[in-house]
Amino acid sequence: MAKIALLNNKGEKVKDINLNDNIWNIEPNDAVLHNAIVLSLASLRQGTAKTKTRSEVSGGGRKPWRQKGTGRARQGSIRATQWRGGGIVFGPTPRDYKKKMNKKERRLALLSALSYKLKDNELIGIDSLSLETPKTKDFVELLNNLKLKDKKVLIVTTELEDNLLLASRNIPEVLVLSNDEINTLDIVNADYMIVTEDAVSKIEEVLN
């Protein structure tokens, strides 16, 4: 059974906690993990890019010159695609980039991401994340104690306390989520994942 050290706010080891191997120590599936990341990134795209075709550009209703006898190439409209100010050929149109993935694959991708955090020693257990004040400097001190300064950190806890949210929101590299909000993209995107002992139990309860 896999284990991680449980630390306090000063970065001192309190005890070891056991992890469920079926959740935190599976053989990661890279293909499914990649597909889940692509799905997550695709869902963030707005898909609102749009250009006008020659039928949508204003003007150009009259033939610019007669068909024959001018010595110039025949033209039907000054809004044809070869003209400046004309329509765009094969330009982008609004579309939905969302992809589909079944429930078992989503779960496998999440378990793979969690397992990589353990295998790469990027999973840190902490006994409590209660802060006495909402000051950013107190939270920075916590990160320094855990030797995570200037690292992209994902914090997972059972309760989103106001002091924790206020103290961490000015640090762009830090993301705080509750245990029921974790997702594959945020886990993979973080250099380190800090999880409370209660959050470990809740995650195992849901995913087991």
Residue-wise DSSP of 61-98 = -S-SS-SSSSSSPP-S-TTSTTSTT-PPTT--------
176, 106 in Cβ contact below 8 A?
no
pLDDT for 14 equals 86
pLDDT for 33 equals 96
Give dist(CA 190, CA 175) in Å, integer: 9
Structural domain boundaries of the chain? 2-45+101-207, 47-96
- What topology does CATH give the domain 2-45+101-207? Ribosomal Protein L4; Chain: A; (3.40.1370)
> 10 to each of 83, 122, 157, 202, how far by Cα in Å?
68, 18, 18, 24
Mean pLDDT by 10 residues, the chain (208 residues): 87 88 93 96 94 93 94 94 94 93 95 94 89 89 90 92 90 93 95 93 90
Give dist(CA 122, CA 199) in Å, integer: 16
Q: Which two tokens stand for residue 16?
A: 């070891």
Q: Which two tokens stand for residue 17?
A: 């906690």
Strand, helix or coil at 134? Answer: coil
Distance between the two ends of the chain, CA-based, in angstroms? 15
- pTM for the structure as a whole: 0.82
